[in-house]
Structure 1
Amino acid sequence: MKKVINAPEDVVPDALRGLAAAHPGLRVDAEGRFAVRGDAPVRGKVALVSGGGSGHEPLHTGFVGPGMLDAACPGEVFTSPVPDQILAATLAVNGGTGVLHLVKNYTGDVLNFQLAAELAADEGVAVESVLIDDDVAVEDSTHTAGRRGTGATVFAEKIAGALAEERAGLPAVAAVAREVNERSRSFGVALSAATVPATGRPGFDLPDDQVELGVGIHGEPGRERAPLAPAAELVDRALTAIEADLPLSGDLLVMVNGMGGTPLAELYVAFGEVARRLRGRATIARSLVGNYVTSLDMTGFSITVCRLTPELLRLWDAPVETPALRWGR
């Protein structure tokens, strides 16, 4: 294993200290394991809190800032943050009008965010939770009951964050996050496994001439293994799975996401194939190409598609200023 780390057990706090040094506009608690926007709590604004295992950067800490998240809680690598950590972040950003928890559908995340919400309620803080479960690859997996939460998390954080900046109430902010989730679908393809620092070896064996179709962001198995194929065929397989669950028409928000180890040139190849496949059937109104929901050093890609409405498009275009996503300011 070759990693740019000091020690496997120090990866998360060391990364948080580096985040703080690189982005002084954030307030980062490396010991408490959470990051909040520099002006938190913002009075009169619904606060958004999300989190999950480390190793998926820039999700979630890279999306903290005006127009998106108020706080993010990174757990250990591929491990849920603990309730006390989530509670501390929730209390730190509560502006008096409630807090929205955006929770990817993984068993540990669901249970720990639920307990943190109950503890926050005991402190007099109103909390609503929205579950993100956009991955069409499998119904149940190693870490979930039901579909996994993946790329739609970025869409929900951005769009709900924009509405919160407009001082909408907690029910409205939660409702738009649920709408984004309902209108979004994802599918991932792995060419190689991620290497977790604590183990020092790939999380699963994948022969050089094989790909994992429908892989999860922690390396969970997908639908099947198949022979390595050209980008056009891999994209067609992914979009076919998505379209079987969500008709692709109208204005779309499309993200071709890298898993952490895929060159950007290859992601643009994949996006070009997405555009080819959708030409004449739907309009790619907005797009993201790059690393947004990674899996350490896994090679491969995922596709996330959201069917936009005029209001969702307006909120997507609203200003945002975070380490990993920024425009309009």
Structure 2
Amino acid sequence: MKKLLNAPSDIVVESLRGLGLAHPELRVDLNHRIVYRSDAPVPGKVALISGGGSGHEPLHGGFVGPGMLDAAVAGEVFTSPVPDQIVEATKNVDSGAGVVHIVKNYTGDVMNFEMAAEIAAAETGVEVVAVVTDDDVAVQDSLYTAGRRGVGVTVLAEKIAGAAADAGRDLNGVADIVRKVNENGRSMGVALTSCTVPAAGKPTFDLPGTDMEIGIGIHGEPGRRRVPLAPAKEIAEMLVEPILADLDFTGGDGVIAFVNGLGASPLLELYLMYGEVAAVLEKAGVRVARSLVGPYITSLDMAGCSLTLLKVDDELVRLWDAPVRTPGLRWGV
């Protein structure tokens, strides 16, 4: 294993320390492993929190700031944050307008965010609404979940709901936007290599150099099937077809097409993949209204990519286009 680290046990805290130094517009609590936007709590605004295991950067800490999250809570690598961390973040961002938790559908995340919401309400009276993302069409249940996994749509939900919160929508209005994004988004991924958890020091699973895993999870969970490595044009079809089979994306105002890198695939390859995905979508009669390409929800050093499609209307496009200023996503400012 070759990684830029000191000790595997310190990698999360030391990474958060570096994030805070690189982005002084953020406030980083290293004790609780929480990243805050520096002006939180924002008076009168519904606060937005997400979080999960580390190793998926820039998710979630890289998406804290105006137009997106008010705070992000970091667990150990591929491990959910504990309730005490989430309670601390919830209390510190609430301005009296309530807090929305965006929770990826992994058993530990769902359980710990649920416990934290109950504790925060009992201790401080803060009103919390949690919305779970479950957009992965690859498998119904996995090693980490009951039901579908929460993956790429989480990034889109954090951006769109963040814009809604900054625009002054109330608690239920912001939560409804997260639900709308989740209900209209679907994802599928492919891995070309495994990833290596620093504490383990070896690949999470064995994937021969001649094979790829279709439908992989962001923690290395198995997908639908293992097949021989194929050209990008064929991989694009393998990603698009199961998504279109699960939800009708034709007609209406089009889609946001999000080609996401899993950590080790360079932009040279990701843009090539976007071109192939766009061709498949055009042939299927799906119009792309907006696009996003890059490593936004990663899996440490895994090579491969995922595709997320979000069916949009005027409201979602308007919120997507709204200004955002975070380390990982920035436009309009």
Alignment of 1:89 with 2:89, yes or no, is: yes
1-structure distance, mates of 2:269, 2:179 = 32
TM-superposed deviation, 1:26 = 0.3
Seq. identity, %: 62
CA displacement at 1:246 relative to structure 2: 1.1
Q: In the TM superposition, what whole-angstrom CA distance separates every residue of 1:127-154 from its partner, at most 9, and x where no partner exists?
A: 0000000000000000000000000000
Q: Is the 8 A contact 2:240 2:281 kept in 1?
A: no
Instruction: Provide the residue aligned with 2:239 in structure 1.
Output: 238
Shift of residue 31, structure 1, vs aligned partner: 1.6
DSSP-derived class of the 2:86 partner: helix
Q: Which residue of 1 aligns with 2:269?
A: 266
Q: How far off is 1:10 after superposition? A: 0.2
Distance 1:35 1:59 in 2: 11
Q: One-letter code of the match for 2:279?
A: R
1:303 corresponds in structure 2 to: 307
Q: Which residue of 2 aligns with 1:201?
A: 202
Alignment check: 8 A CA contact 2:104 2:110 kept? yes
Tell me how far 1:248 sits from its aligned partner.
2.3
- Name the structure 2 match of 1:28: 28
Unaligned runs of 5+ in 1: none
**SS of match in other structure, 1:279:** helix
Residue in structure 1 matched with residue 324 of structure 2 by the alignment: 320
Partner of 1:74: 74
What's the CA shift for 1:247? Answer: 1.6
Alignment partner of 1:221: what SS? coil
Residue 256 (str. 1) matches residue 259 (str. 2): yes
1:311 match: secondary structure? helix
Amino acid at match of 1:109: D
Q: By how many angstroms is 1:278 displaced?
A: 1.4
Deviation, structure 1 residue 282: 1.9
Kindly indicate whether residue 293 of structure 2 is the aligned counterpart of residue 292 of structure 1: no
Name the count of aligned residue pairs.
329
Alpha-carbon distance in structure 2 between the residues aligned to 1:9 and 1:93: 28
Partner SS state of residue 246, structure 2: coil
Task: Give me the whole-angstrom Cα distance separating, in 1, the residues matched to 2:22 and 2:145.
Answer: 34
1:234-286 deviation digits (Å, cap 9, x = unpaired):
11011111011012223110110000000111001110001111125122111
Aligned to 2:118: 118
Letter in 1 for 2:194: A
Tell me the distance in 2 between the aligned counterparts of 1:263 and 1:158: 23
Structure 2 counterpart SS, 1:125:
coil
SS at match of 1:72: strand
Q: Kindly provide the amino acid, as one letter, of the partner of residue 26 in structure 1.
A: L
Partner of 1:142: 143
- For residue 204 of structure 1, report the CA deviation from its aligned partner: 0.1
Q: Letter of the aligned partner of 1:302 in structure 2?
A: S
The amino acid of 1:227's aligned partner reads P
Aligned residue in 2 for 1:277:
280
1:3 matched to 2:3? The reply is yes
In 1: Cα distance, 2:250 partner to 2:319 partner: 20
Question: What whole-Å deviation, never above 9, does each CA across 1:287-314 have from its counterpart, x for those lacking one?
Answer: 1111000000000000000000100000
**RMSD between aligned residues:** 0.6
Offset of residue 36 of structure 1: 0.5
Partner of 1:50: 50
Q: Once the two structures are superposed, what CA deviation does each residue of 1:44-70 show, in whole Å capped at 9, x if it has no partner?
A: 000000000000000000000000000
Residue 125 of structure 1 and its aligned partner are, at CA, apart by 0.2
Please give the alpha-carbon distance, in whole angstroms, between the structure 1 residues aligned to 2:20 and 2:226: 40
**2:324 & 2:303 partners in 1: Cα distance?**
28
Matches within 5 A, 1:103-252: 103-122=103-122, 123-250=124-251, 251-252=254-255
Q: Quote the residue 2:40 is aligned against.
A: 40
For 2:127 and 2:32, the matched residues in 1 are separated by: 22
Partner SS, residue 35 of structure 1: strand
3-state DSSP of counterpart to 1:147: coil
CA contact (8 A) 2:55 2:300 kept: yes
Q: Distance in 1 between matches of 2:175 and 2:37?
A: 20
Distance (whole Å) between structure 2 residues aligned to residue 75 and residue 26 of structure 1: 18
Distance 2:327 2:29 in 1: 16
Residue segments in structure 2 that go unaligned for 5+ positions in a row: none
Paired residues of 2:35 and 2:71 also in contact (CA < 8 A): yes
TM-score by length of 2: 0.98
